[in-house]
């Protein structure tokens, strides 16, 4: 960043506000501040220490220099009286000329049509209107901020405007606001992001060119704030400010969404990958073994990753995200407004407004609930399958969860119904449901209390009761159920028979992974049980917990701060802290922990020692203020 003293020396007349923004935004040249070089053709301009138009620096396009300077042999020098008069005559950058263009913002935009003043009515950094994706592939948009924050080549295709509005008027942000009420032009009426570029990370995010987040502890107070974390089989995704998404770990099936199959997080930080080009403002995420789905602000869904059996829902078996961005795939045609998503190994489900459920992917064992075992989404769309018959009128679903080969739904009134492979469903038998009958005929699982949340793992399910107790059923391998043994529950008894898991506190959220489970307690502590391989439980060892002892005996995981959400994945776990930062532990062989290496964490150290996952930083404005 240039010094304040240098900036003060550069300010003059009506151009003060323009150059003030330029000086304190190192990604923005004076030309961009006054409306010049809007195409971003000069990729190196943002790093030029001698900005065009200033004294001793090259002249701007057309021989333009700051007031009091004149262009001589291509450089700006002090003007004589005659030179100054000439500048006034030929449109030089004098104060009178700056005030005569009806441009109240002083940004070079005389149209007055859009309040950002960059001449870009869509807010996506593209003045030509030809770029429907809303991104400037040169890496320089009119704000001067590269939204990926780390693309040294300038060819940033991941960091486009996630509001998804193009000039056709299709506003994928979901607010259908074409009136201009959104002053930033990014589809976000919250007013949080005043730059209009949807970039709250500011670009200084571990790329190596100006790495402010490269510390082992993830950086300082200026890091982006995470709103949700999801853990898949060997990848992790975070929903961050302004509805943006960043993913890391294995990308072999395109599950990261960056248009390739590269691994992210093994030798670089997630901040360097930038934002996934989802094509809209995201409000909710779901992850599976090799896939990711995003719920957009407009209630549409976009999915990417392994599509081998139609689990992406696009009417084919193609992988998405391996050689294209999720934006290009468009919306999954579910046939209604979605409010929640769930994904597992080979199938996905959506909860629609009105409490309806629709599922797609592999239909084996009746896991989709359509009274057959046929796949859906491989050569037809989820909309065509219609609603799963979960129950009669009044049996309104409020949450959905998916396991490896079964599905569970939480209904109003705190009741649970499950369908798919028998034994894991909790009905006290091993019969499959949904393969030749609808889930409604099975009735409610006898959990033994009013349920407020469910979480479905690979082959087990846990329910959080309204009093903060936890009850689990399904496969008890490695102690995943937490009852101090490895016995299965629900195959010949009901979950109510097993009673509460002794976690030693009041739970407010639960997360079931492949073979382990974690609970968030009301004081912000985390306790985990099940398979401890790779350090997935976070206790500084690889011991299983819950197979011969109760989770209460293990105590709290030393995360290093108060936790607001926990996510258990394949062999790793992540926690969202009260600070808005993320810490991960467990298996790291695919970079899924996000610390720039392939090391496991939690096997011989605690998660607190790893620090925050570096996800990027906000853009510093001035004097300790940060754009939020």
**pLDDT single digits (tens) 250-287:** 999 999 999 999 999 999 999 999 999 999 999 999 99
Q: Which tokens in the block code for residue 366?
A: 């009746």
Q: Pseudo-torsion of CA 389, 391, 392, 397, nearest 10°?
A: -100
**pLDDT single digits (tens) 399-426:** 999 999 999 999 999 999 999 999 999 9
Q: Which residues of the chain have pLDDT under 50?
A: 1-48, 81-221, 619-628
DSSP state of 80: P
Three-state secondary structure of 468-491: CCEEEEECCHHHCCCCCCCCCECC
Which residues are CB-neighbours of 213 under 8 A, at least 6 positions away?
204, 205, 206, 219, 223, 269, 271, 614, 615, 616, 617
**pLDDT single digits (tens) 419-445:** 999 999 999 999 999 999 999 999 999
Question: CB of 463 within 8 A of CB of 525?
Answer: no
The mean pLDDT of the chain is 77
**According to the model, what pLDDT value does residue 62 have?**
65
Distance between CA atoms of residues 77 and 53, nearest Å: 9
**pLDDT single digits (tens) 357-398:** 999 999 999 999 999 999 999 999 999 999 999 998 789 999
**According to the model, what pLDDT value does residue 64 have?**
67
**According to the model, what pLDDT value does residue 618 have?**
52
Which H/E stretch holds residue 507? Answer: strand 507-512
Distance between CA atoms of residues 295 and 338, nearest Å: 7
Taken as a whole, the chain contains a residue count of 628
Question: CB of 449 within 8 A of CB of 466?
Answer: yes
Instruction: Choose among 550, 567, 533: nearest CA to 482.
Output: 550
Phi-psi region of 590 (alpha: psi -120 to 50; beta: other; left: phi over 0): alpha
**According to the model, what pLDDT value does residue 66 have?**
65
What is the reported pTM? Answer: 0.67
Question: CB of 321 within 8 A of CB of 255?
Answer: yes
Which residues are CB-neighbours of 135 under 8 A, at least 6 positions away?
124, 125, 126, 141, 147, 156, 157, 159, 160, 161, 277
Which H/E stretch holds residue 517? Answer: strand 516-521
């Amino acid at each position: 960043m240039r010094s304040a003293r240098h900036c003060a020396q550069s300010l003059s007349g009506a151009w003060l506000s323009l150059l003030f923004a330029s000086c304190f935004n190192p990604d923005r040249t004076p030309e961009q501040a006054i409306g010049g070089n809007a195409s971003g053709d000069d990729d190196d301009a943002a790093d030029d220490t001698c900005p065009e138009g200033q004294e001793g620096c090259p002249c701007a396009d057309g021989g333009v220099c700051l007031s009091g300077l004149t262009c001589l042999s291509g450089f700006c020098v002090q003007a004589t009286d005659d030179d100054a008069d000439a500048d006034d005559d030929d449109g030089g950058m004098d104060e009178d000329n700056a005030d005569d263009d009806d441009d109240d913002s002083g940004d070079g935009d005389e149209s007055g049509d859009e309040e950002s003043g960059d001449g870009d009515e869509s807010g996506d950094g593209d003045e030509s209107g030809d770029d429907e994706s809303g991104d400037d592939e040169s890496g320089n948009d009119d704000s001067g901020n590269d939204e990926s924050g780390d693309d040294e080549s300038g060819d940033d295709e991941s960091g486009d405007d996630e509001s998804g509005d193009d000039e056709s008027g299709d506003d994928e942000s979901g607010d259908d606001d074409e009136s201009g009420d959104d002053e930033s032009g990014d589809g976000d009426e919250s007013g949080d992001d005043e730059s209009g570029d949807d970039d709250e990370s500011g670009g200084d995010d571990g790329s190596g060119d100006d790495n402010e987040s490269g510390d082992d502890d993830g950086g300082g107070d200026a890091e982006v704030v995470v709103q949700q974390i999801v853990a898949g089989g060997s990848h992790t995704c975070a929903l961050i400010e302004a509805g943006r998404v960043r993913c890391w770990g294995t990308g072999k099936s395109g599950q990261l969404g960056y248009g390739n199959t590269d691994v992210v997080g093994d030798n670089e930080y997630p901040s360097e990958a930038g934002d996934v080009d989802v094509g809209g403002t995201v409000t909710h995420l779901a992850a599976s073994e090799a896939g990711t789905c995003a719920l957009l602000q407009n209630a549409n869904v976009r999915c990417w990753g392994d599509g081998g059996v139609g689990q992406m829902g696009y009417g084919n078996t193609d992988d998405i995200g391996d050689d294209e961005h999720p934006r290009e795939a468009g919306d999954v045609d579910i046939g209604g407004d979605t409010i929640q998503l769930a994904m597992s190994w080979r199938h996905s489900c959506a909860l629609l407004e009105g409490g309806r459920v629709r599922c797609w992917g592999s239909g084996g064992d009746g896991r989709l609930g359509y009274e057959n075992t046929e796949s859906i989404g491989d050569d037809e769309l989820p909309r065509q399958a219609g609603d799963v018959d979960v129950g009669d009128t009044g049996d309104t679903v409020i949450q959905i969860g998916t396991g490896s080969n079964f599905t569970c739904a939480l209904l109003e009134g705190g009741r649970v119904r499950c369908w798919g492979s028998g034994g894991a469903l909790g009905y006290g038998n091993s019969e499959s449901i949904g393969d030749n009958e609808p889930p409604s005929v099975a009735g409610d699982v006898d959990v033994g209390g009013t349920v407020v949340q469910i979480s479905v793992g690979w082959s087990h399910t846990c329910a959080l009761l309204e009093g903060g107790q936890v009850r689990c059923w399904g496969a008890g391998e490695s102690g995943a159920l937490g009852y101090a043994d490895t016995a299965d529950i629900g195959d010949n008894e009901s979950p109510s028979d097993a009673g509460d898991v002794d976690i030693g506190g009041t739970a407010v959220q639960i997360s079931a992974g492949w073979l382990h489970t974690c609970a968030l307690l009301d004081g912000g502590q985390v306790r985990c049980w099940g398979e401890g391989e790779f350090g997935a439980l976070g206790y500084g060892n690889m011991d299983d917990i819950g197979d011969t002892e109760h989770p209460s005996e293990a105590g709290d995981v030393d995360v290093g701060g108060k936790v607001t959400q926990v996510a258990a994945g394949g062999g790793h776990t992540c926690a969202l802290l009260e600070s808005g930062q993320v810490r991960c532990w467990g298996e790291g062989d695919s970079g899924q922990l996000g610390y720039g290496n392939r090391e496991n964490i939690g096997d011989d150290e605690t998660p607190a020692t790893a620090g925050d996952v570096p996800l990027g930083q906000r853009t510093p404005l001035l004097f300790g203020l940060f754009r939020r």
